[in-house]
Structure 1
């Protein structure tokens, strides 16, 4: 794609995502206000129910609680979408800057530099103003390491080169897919050692997985707790049972 067309494309996408981000922020503010109003309604109906002992107010309070939880779910989803839009905006601003040869604030891959490597040092593959700094669009540490490995290793066969060219040809015009993929990766906020910690966690068997009956007991306690909470709305004395279940969950199932 010609440079001028790329400049226009990224500029247009910046305007698009900036407007989308503003709109999403307004939605989130409205949802915050709606959550507050519903929360006040829950308390108000509950107080009226206690004062008048009218069953209708308890029902209305319970319905408001359901609505509140629904709004919380929508609010969290919109917050996630806003963060994705923010990353997409930053990504296009970064691409526009790179086209203007302003990429020196990006990760330069110095951690991958190896002075004993046959050609990486001579070709300035890593470091300030390096090829790695210009090419790198990875959003994870693993992706950064894979790019460094590709730059410092020989393809091996012509088929490998052709295969990589085919992949690049397929992705070059799929800007929405590429940027969404990269922006989603940026949301992870990966730190050094995370991959090792997750691998260790996946390989470690938990206490509850050794005894299958504990899983069903935990599930039963959770369902029973929900039932008692609902029951406790109409009869507060039942909340004492919930305390016993909490102690059981804390001492046995955790």
Structure 2
């Protein structure tokens, strides 16, 4: 928190200083413009060429001021982004505000756990973690949260997150660059299509004429200047026209490459700037060094080559300027020569665009997890173990505030499956989500809300919050049965971690009891780890029959001074207390 406050104060000072300079330069620029008009008027009024020299000098000054003003404008936007980043972090920690995109577009009921564990959407894990600013960064973070990684990949991520968590300034600079750049979905998709599209070759005859005609044009000008012949005058006019026609022959190719978008070069230049920040930073972990190696091959350096591409795009975009179009192409087929260099670049290095986009996206996703790690330095990076040993010490839900969070120990080593009982509101569902969310975090390589843990990278399956579907004429019960069938099939293929909350709620008590026991027996025949929460105490007798696999745990409730008291601490055994009747009597629903 203190780090963010200090940085906020620092950037506020920097912003005020630059804004002051921006205003001064803007005022001087206006004066310079007025001076240009005035000195040019004096030159015409007095027929004095000395004033023209003054005008030329002021024009040079004016152009310099325009560039300086633009630089200050960009710098102000950059520092504004840094101000916003630090203010958001302060509000996030201080006020529990989440001014970050929550990944609502990734929300689906079909995923094995994303919907049940609130991975996306309002007050979601994604919204808690997300510090990306580009479309690809957001998508990469979403992919990390919904995929199962190998132990090796998780360990590589852990080391990278540990390293990045200490680079607060660098992480914020990457985020600020991304915020002020046009790295949205439309720009991303346009570049993907562009990088995969074929290069259109220039006609061989036009290729030859692109060198011959400008050469003849230059000779004609010299001839007209030194010989002063009408022939050379006609030749200059004819060759200018022929140059213009040849130059315009690639117009449709250029329009195709630009894709009808404005200022593509700014998007490419943004990628170049971000990649340059990545290339220049010193990293010690294998994953981060691997990114640098990708961006710097034997025949390329991504940031420099993308800068060249940006300049080529910018030059092609000048075709929209009618003055440049006619003059530059008439003099030397300017756009044809630019397109030739552009086509050569694309043919040799188009893959760099996709590569850079992927690296930037993964970097933003890792930066989000590193930011989470930095904000929660008391959390632990779990040991990534094998499936015969899993435990959590002082496990809590990371999205709950520390003052409201109750932590518990839970182990899946001696008995790998838990039957969890407890009265209403005792904390069973929250505890299941606590385990699930921390397993998701552990699977990304991020730290978890615990003081110690060993976690196996198992596929996670959850059945807690199913919905019926009017569109598919599907009842809640049928949706649940389908989910259970999918889980059973998966655990038969490989070891999995399963979280089930009060399954088969849409059936009568006998069906529910026998069905729940049947599901448990089916699961424990395989190498399944997990927890099932139930209100049916008869189900707990299954643990007595299979003590080597199953164990009973519970949450209890106490009635003190005619009120309910929940401590949300997990205990061994079966829940003994009930609260439904007590609550209904207290609310005078029943006698």
State the partner residue of 1:146. Answer: 140
Greater shift in the superposed pair: 188-197 or 23-32: 188-197
Question: What is the match of residue 75 of structure 1?
Answer: 69
Provide the residue aligned with 2:159 in structure 1.
Answer: 166
What do the CA deviations read for 1:70-123 (whole angstroms, capped 9, x no partner)?
A: 110111011000000001000101111111252334211111122111121222
Separation in structure 2 between the aligned mates of residue 127 and residue 137 of structure 1, nearest angstrom: 15
- Flag the structure with higher helix content: 1
Output the CA distance in 1 between the equivalents of 2:87 and 2:210. Answer: 48
In the alignment, does 2:105 pair up with 1:111? yes
Alignment correspondent of 1:227: none
Give, in whole Å, the separation in 2 of the partners of 1:128 and 1:42. Answer: 57
**Alpha-carbon offset, residue 216 of structure 1:** 7.0
| Equivalent-residue separation in structure 1 for 2:209 and 2:83 (angstroms) | 47
CA distance in 1, matches of 2:143, 2:19: 40
1:179 aligns with 2:172: yes
In structure 2, relative to structure 1, the CA distance for the partners of 1:206 and 1:17 (3 Å cut) is: farther
How high is the TM-score relative to the length of structure 2? 0.35
- Aligned in 2, Cα 1:182/1:55: closer, same or farther, shift over 3 Å? same
Q: How many residue pairs get matched?
A: 225
Superposed displacement of residue 205, structure 1: 4.2
Counterpart check, 1:98 vs 2:92: yes
Q: What is the 5 A alignment of 1:42-53?
A: 42-53=36-47
Matched, 1:85 2:65: no
Of 304, 314, 326, 1:248 maps to: 326
By how many angstroms is 1:177 displaced?
A: 0.6
Taking the TM superposition and a 5 Å limit, the aligned residue runs for 1:226-245 are: none
Shift of 1:124: 1.4
Structure number with higher strand proportion: 2
- Please, which runs of 5 or more residues in structure 1 have no aligned partner? 1-6, 221-240
- The structure-2 alpha-carbon separation of the partners of 1:87 and 1:206, relative to structure 1 and needing over 3 Å to count, comes to farther
Give the distance between the partners of 2:96 and 2:210, measured in 1 at CA: 55
Asked if 1:36 corresponds to 2:30, the answer is: yes
Aligned to 1:60: 54
Q: Report the CA distance between 1:212 and its aligned residue.
A: 4.8
**Secondary structure, in 3 states, of the residue corresponding to 1:104?**
coil
Cα distance change on mapping 1:80 and 1:155 into 2, 3 Å: same
Deviates more, 1:36-45 or 1:191-200: 191-200
RMSD of Structure 2 on Structure 1 (CA): 2.9
Contact map agreement 1:31 1:75 (CA 8 A) in 2: yes
Pick the structure with greater CA Rg: 2
The structural deviation recorded for 1:55 is 1.8
Alpha-carbon contact 1:21-1:82 (below 8 Å) kept? yes
- Residues 180-221 of structure 1 deviation map (CA, whole Å, 9 limit, x = unaligned): 10011011244433212223344364687985568779x99x
Task: Give the Cα–Cα distance (whole angstroms) in 1 for the partners of residues 209 and 174 of structure 2.
Answer: 39
Q: Is the 8 A contact 1:38 1:64 kept in 2?
A: yes
